[in-house]
Amino acid sequence: METILVLDFGGQYKELICRAVRNLNVYAIIESGNISLGRVKEINPVGIILTGGPQSVYSENAPKCDERLFDLGVPMLGICYGMQLMTHMLGGEVSSGEVGEYGQVNVTCDFSESDLLNNIKLEFVALMSHRDVVSVPPPNFQVTAKSPNAIAVIENKNRKLYGVQFHPETRHTKFGKEIISNFLDVCGVVRKYRLKDYVSEKVESIRKHVGVKGVLLGLSGGVDSSVCAALLSKAIHGQLTCVFVDHGFMRKDEGDEIEKIFSKFDLNFIRVNAQERFLKAIEGVSDPERKRKIIGNEFVRVFEDESKKLGNIPYLAQGTIYPDIVESGGEFGSTIKSHHNVGGLPEKHNFDGLVEPLSGLFKDEVRKVGIKLGLPPNLVNRQPFPGPGLAIRVMGEVTHDKLEKLKQVDAIFRHELESLSKKPSQYFAVLTQTLSVGVKGDERTYDYVVALRAVSTDDFMTCEYSDLPNKLLRKISSKITSEVQGVSRVVYDISSKPPSTIEWE
């Protein structure tokens, strides 16, 4: 399969780069920027993209790639830090600019012929996020575009090496998709990547890996694990047991709803009610990373217990998707948050191996696979829900009383938003640790503050807050403070990602 290799230097948009390439029907994967030359040759990419990153390339411990990559004859595109790294390693100069450029900036093309800017308007807006600049391009590189304070694009057409100071992978850059597409043209790609091919390849891979042995799937009822169940059922029908662990952190009545849905499927479905077990496991724990890891560990222990009852099923399957892996940290990328099915998995467990058939897919791709596998749209398009559930939407220590309050608040919020003709991509409530003075029935109260979160996104890598009508927010706030005991104040989160994440913890 023709593959674009995305080398990560800690940039926040690496997933968007990968996804942008895939949306142009070319397979792309993310690896650490210091990947070995041997591993690159194993992957045999048709093109390489160097991501952005937070450091300065001239710093002593700045991340770098193997300099021999530039001599492979493989087309390369450096984005932001990636462009500066290419410049630095190939004999150009990078320095701190007098003025930084952040946000949308006008870029002016300055070229007679350009591979990257082919069929692009002479002026366009691009997303910049840099202070350092390329002050002197490497030898034999041509400057083909500039911004008010920096060189914006450099090209060496003979060696097929290119650099852009802006971020074409984001929707904030006009013609960003076209620029990436032009780079793919330089790579000579056929653009044959299709999800149906991924599914068929995974089915064969699962059959070869598992053989005739049994697989236990930790089913949460969310999109990822549901699609994973459908894919595994297609690949190894009759060998799959789905264990739904109700950890008590589900949304109101959700455990019963999940059982009702999957009881109709042609698979072995088991529900384990482990609410008290999980609540006790995180008793007194306030740190969100510890919560995630404890819950992840407890999940596996429950699966081990169920496996023993069923005669020791050798394989454990999980609905891990690509962003789970990327966000859980890498060589140069910081850990945004550990996912219970990645960072929380204990090193020692009683399973012979793991099966994670969705680990190469983004969320939108997972949904498309679910439809292709025949899952109902209302299940495939349901609200995203983290594995640790409401345990990471209760700030600080989790108690039964806090959970019940949050379940009621969340149910009211979600019910009211269901009436909208155009719903946000994701919406939920958070129980904060803040207590606030209020008045109910002429009496002073000192109760919890809850936060409401609704975002719009097409990739879940970035998002904008949803601009909900004031009238609707007023109605929701009134219902919550009237109907939920112990809540006196409601606030609405208007943060975007970045700098925030979608979840609070």
Other Cβ atoms less than 10 A from the Cβ of 195: the count is 16
Q: Looking at 31, 101, 155, 169, which residue is catalytic? A: 169
Catalytic residue flag (residue 167): yes
Tokens representing 102?
Answer: 């952040």
What is the distance between the alpha carbons of residues 256 and 88, in angstroms, rounded to a whole number? 58
Q: Looking at 65, 80, 187, 228, which residue is catalytic? A: 80
Torsion sign over Cα 288, 365, 220, 491:
positive
Burial class of residue 399 in the structure, from the number of CB atoms within 10 Å of its CB (0-12 exposed, 13-18 middle, 19+ buried):
middle
What is the distance between the alpha carbons of residues 44 and 73, in angstroms, rounded to a whole number? 12
**Displacement of CA 197 from its chain's centroid (Å):** 22
Q: Looking at 88, 130, 167, 339, which residue is catalytic? A: 167
For residue 435, how many C-alpha atoms fall within 13 Å in the half-sphere facing its CB?
Answer: 6
DSSP 207: H
What is the distance between the alpha carbons of residues 100 and 80, in angstroms, rounded to a whole number? 13
Amino acid at 4: I
Tokens representing 240?
Answer: 């799959």
CB 387 within 8 A of CB 291: no
Q: What is the 3-state secondary structure (H, E, C) of 423-483?
A: CCCEEEEEEEEEEEEEEECCEEEEEEEEEEEEEECCCCCCEEECCCCHHHHHHHHHHHHHH
DSSP 69: G
Residues catalogued as catalytic: 80, 167, 169
